[in-house]
Amino acid sequence: MLRVLVVDSSRERAADVCAALALAGHQVAAVLTSALDLSDQVLATKPDVIFIQADSPSRDTLEHLATMNRDCPRPVLLFSQDTDSAMIRRAVKAGVSSYVVDSVSAERLDSLVEVAIAQFEEFQTLRAELDDANRKLSERIVVDKAKGLLMKARGLDEEAAYHALRKLAMERGRKLADVARDVVDMASLLL
């Protein structure tokens, strides 16, 4: 059973969606008429999935969705009648996992939720890999910069500068990148 946060400005449509979710075996965590306090509601209710239904998503809705996606990302299904490809791209960029141009039917609900969750998980994996690659690159850059400073200041070759950094990191029980950052910071103070 998934906990679902429903966002829909139409009370009748929201009631239909809640009924379809209940029939599919899901629990409605909360129903919002707008996305104004989406991040706060997500933090408060901790839904597994967010279900937004709008004739055409407003700029405000997409902004609140982007904020929520940054602070507490969740799979988001957006049902809309807007077929504009620019709108679809903005929605996906804001964090929508699955943009469906149509109304929801109880028969399709489970498969649409599964697709949204799978796309969300894949995106989160890619985001984590990118963050890790960026972290490693920035660590590599700072280590190279620290090596260059040691090479210049002490007249060491590259291998000896690396071993000096590594030895210092081991002696202090810290990561190589952190020690390299300290060397760069100290050099900027002294020069």
- pLDDT recorded at residue 9: 87
CA distance 49 to 52: 10
Q: Using CA atoms, how far apart are residues 39 and 69, in angstroms rounded to an integer?
A: 8
Half-sphere exposure of residue 13, counting CA atoms within 13 Å on the CB side? 17
pLDDT(45) > 90: yes
Q: What integer pLDDT is reported at residue 115 of this predicted model? A: 92
Percent of the chain with pLDDT over 70: 99
What's the CA gap between 29 and 133, in Å, rounded? Answer: 36
What are the φ and ψ backbone dihedral angles of 51, each rounded to 5 degrees? Answer: -120, 115
pLDDT in tens, 75-121: 999 999 888 899 999 999 999 999 998 777 777 888 888 999 999 99
pLDDT category at 16 given cuts 50, 70, 90 is: confident
List, in sequence order, every beta strand (DSSP E) within the chain.
3-8, 27-32, 49-54, 76-80, 98-101
Q: What is the number of other CB atoms lying within 10 angstroms of the CB of residue 181?
A: 18
pTM, two decimals, is 0.75
Rounded CA-CA distance 55/9 in Å is 9
76: nearest Cα among 60, 55, 62, 56:
62
| Each residue's pLDDT tens digit, 25-34 | 899 999 999 8
Percent of the chain with pLDDT over 90: 68
Average pLDDT of the residues in 54-70:
88
